[in-house]
Amino acid sequence: MDNTQNWTEDRVERLKKLWSEGLSASQIAAQLGGVSRNAVIGKVHRLSLPGRAKAGGTTSARPQKRASVSQPSRPATFTPRTVTRTVTRSAGATMLKEEVEVEVHEHLEMVVDNNVVVPIFKRVPLIRLTERTCKWPLGDPLKDDFAFCGNDSPDSSPYCTYHQKLAYQPSAERRRLR
Tell me the closest approach of the beta carbon of residue 28 to DNA, in angstroms: 7
Q: Which of 91, 89, 32 is nearest to 62 (CA)?
A: 89
Tell me the closest approach of the beta carbon of residue 42 to DNA, in angstroms: 3
Taking residue 69's Cβ as centre, other Cβ atoms within 10 Å add up to: 11
Q: Find out whether 137 and 148 touch, Cβ atoms under 8 Å.
A: yes
- What track of x and - describes contact with DNA for positions 73 through 112 (by CB under 7 A)? ----------------------------------------
Q: Which of 64, 58, 122 is nearest to 91 (CA)?
A: 58
Element spanning 20, H or E: helix 9-20
Q: Which of 138, 130, 127 is nearest to 162 (CA)?
A: 138
Q: Find out whether 96 and 89 touch, Cβ atoms under 8 Å.
A: yes
40 vs 108 by CB, closer to DNA = 40
- Of residues 128 through 147, those in contact with DNA by CB under 7 A are 130, 132
DSSP 133: B
Q: Which of 6, 73, 86, 171 binds DNA (CB under 7 A)?
A: 6
The values of phi and psi at residue 2, to 5°, are -130, 125
- Of residues 9 through 68, those in contact with DNA by CB under 7 A are 23-27, 35-39, 41-46, 51-52, 54-61
What angle is formed at CA 84 by the lines to CA 18 and CA 108, rounded to 5 degrees? 110
26 vs 90 by CB, closer to DNA = 26
38 vs 114 by CB, closer to DNA = 38
Tell me the closest approach of the beta carbon of residue 150 to DNA, in angstroms: 11
55 vs 93 by CB, closer to DNA = 55
111 vs 134 by CB, closer to DNA = 134
Q: Which residues bind DNA (CB under 7 A)?
A: 6-7, 23-27, 35-39, 41-46, 51-52, 54-61, 130, 132
